[in-house]
Amino acid sequence: MRYAHTVESVRRAEAALMATLPAGALMQRAAAGLAAVCIDVLGSVYGARVVVLVGSGDNGGDALYAAARLASRGAAVELVVLKPEAAHPDGLAAALRAGARRTDKPAWDGVDLLVDGVVGIGGRPGLRDPARTLIEDARAAGTYVVAVDVPSGVDVDGATLPEPHVTADITVTFGTHKPALLAAPAVRAAGWVQLVDIGLVPYLDEAGLESVESADVRAAYPLPSGESHKYTRGVVGVDAGSDRYAGAAELCVRGAQAGPAGMVRFGGPDSVAAEIVARRPEAVAGRGRVQAWVVGSGTADRADSALRAAAADEVPVVVDADALAYWRPGMVRGALLTPHAGELARMLDVERSVVEAAPLAYARQAAERLDATVLLKGSNTLIAERDRPTRVVSTGTPWLATAGAGDVLAGLAGSLLAAGLPARDAGSLAAWLHGAASRRAAEYGRPITAGDVAGAIPAATAAVLSAPATPAPWA
């Protein structure tokens, strides 16, 4: 996992760490890491033109000490000090001593790098003038932007993206990720995120948000053993499709067949079942004992009765699409709800745009109110569960936004549930593999269908399971 901590949690850890260190040591660690990334970006530092936007807090302090390092290596550094009376005094003195000079209006033409030290974790969302105009001018000139800790103006904890804000090419963050650096929409402003170790990790409490990585998928994927037979691997029941949406049923079955369960039972209407069995002969038509159900994809006006029938089996259920409208809190223990933003908005009785602007907050609110694990689909997918860190998955390509892709995901999640994973893990692995399969199918850049995604899941699974088990550096 990559972990993100809230501002409050970072502040607590920083206070504990700072108590063990000489004054200013932490800022020097941050500035050294920041300068190293800037040097990497510049390639050749001597003679490079660097503009540094300096805000009035410690974020500006980090930027000033990094500016001093760049200036001492021969960069032509210009400091735009936004509130001179409040700038970090020692940092400013160090930068000026090293040869940086002050300006109010940089000429952006020929600037190699802009360092955004306007605000960090102490910032309020949005940007005021003159920072706002300076950033706009720099962007219009195509200047490369490195943000310090977070892109200034984003909502650090809520991961929303109020206007205006800095859009960075690289964000150099300190100690741990912040929610805005992992979750949409704020993550879109961060660019490539570089984490600098400042010794904070031992002092951090549990993360509020965690990003699922390939090593996590590898560690949790349910593998068959020599003793396995199809029933011990789990049977997943699919009640999907209708005369009008027969395709949804097939896509859902294909998603389920691409997962670890040993068997897929198709429990939808007979007219659809005949077609499913003809096209996917490994599926067994008719209801029977299952370890998990997938209900709702394309069920149209059967959704209510289909969900009730699945709930009566008292096994975990993936509740998708049409069935979401009939979900009642507490209906099934261990349920995984898989709405997109529009479906979640209807469940919470708010506008879709409101959910899209703040998916992290609404996924969490939904998990509380709906008393279930909620997988909110989108450009990155969130898996929220009450009292547990929220998960984020960002393996998908935008080509995945194609009709039927959600049916495949629901089937795959059901297969992982039937194989014994709890809802939060089943949702995380399903979203990760579904996204990875979409990239593979799209060959990193061409249109795909939902069927292509289903077809690519086994290869995406093989790739992640067979990768060498080197632990991630942060693990």
Ligand X SMILES: NC(=O)C1=CN([C@@H]2O[C@H](COP(=O)(O)OP(=O)(O)OC[C@H]3O[C@@H](n4cnc5c(N)ncnc54)[C@H](OP(=O)(O)O)[C@@H]3O)[C@@H](O)[C@H]2O)[C@@H](O)CC1
Ligand Y SMILES: Nc1ncnc2c1ncn2[C@@H]1O[C@H](COP(=O)(O)OP(=O)(O)O)[C@@H](O)[C@H]1O
Q: Footprint of ligand Y on this chain (CB under 6 A)?
A: 340, 377-379, 381, 396-398, 400-401, 403-407, 409, 434
* Residue number, 36 or 401, with CB nearest to ligand Y: 401
Residue 116 binds what, of ligand Y, K ion, ligand X, none (CB under 5 to 8 Å, by partner type)?
K ion
Q: Tell me if 136 contacts ligand X by CB under 6 A.
A: no
Between 135 and 212, CB nearer to K ion: 135
Residues whose CB falls within 8 Å of the CB of residue 184, separated by 6 or more in sequence, listed in order: 159, 359, 378, 379, 380
- Give 354's Cβ-side CA count (13 Å radius): 11
Nearer to ligand Y, 106 or 406 (CB): 406
Pairing of strands 317-320, 292-295: parallel
**What contacts 157, CB < 8 A, 6 or more positions away?**
6, 7, 178, 179, 180
User: Which run of H or E residues covers position 369?
Assistant: helix 359-370
- Report the alpha-carbon distance of residue 418 to residue 413 in Å, rounded: 9
3-state class of 338 per DSSP? strand
Q: Smallest gap, in angstroms, from Cβ of residue 82 to ligand X?
A: 7
Please report, as residue ranges, which positions from 51 to 80 form the binding site for ligand X (by CB under 6 A): 55-60, 62
- Binding to K ion by CB under 5 A, coded x per residue (else -) over 152-191, reads x---------------------------------------
56 binding partner (options ligand Y, K ion, ligand X, none; Cβ < 5 to 8 Å by kind): ligand X
Would you state the structure tokens that stand for residue 309, as one six-digit string? Answer: 């029938």
Q: For ligand X, which stretch binds (CB under 6 A), given 116-124, 188-196, 315-323, 387-395?
A: 116-124
- The angle, 0 to 180 degrees and rounded to 10, between the axes of the packed helices 58-72 and 25-42 is 50
58 is in an annotated binding site: yes
CB of 113 to ligand X, least distance (A): 17
Tell me the residue type at 256: A
Residue with smaller CB distance to K ion, 152 or 397: 152
Residue 199 binds to ligand X (criterion: CB under 6 A): no
CA angle at residue 363 from 419 to 151, to 5 degrees?
115
SS3 145: strand
Yes or no: say if 192 and 168 are a contact pair by the CB < 8 Å rule.
Answer: no
Q: C-beta of 460: minimal distance to ligand Y in Å?
A: 14
CB of 428 to ligand X, least distance (A): 29
Quick one: tokens of 261?
A: 């369960």
Task: From 114-122, 293-301, 338-346, 413-421, give the range in contact with ligand X by CB under 6 A.
Answer: 114-122
Binding residues for K(+), as ranges, are: 59, 116, 152
Binding residues for (6S)-NADPHX, as ranges, are: 58-62, 120-126, 149, 248, 298, 340, 407
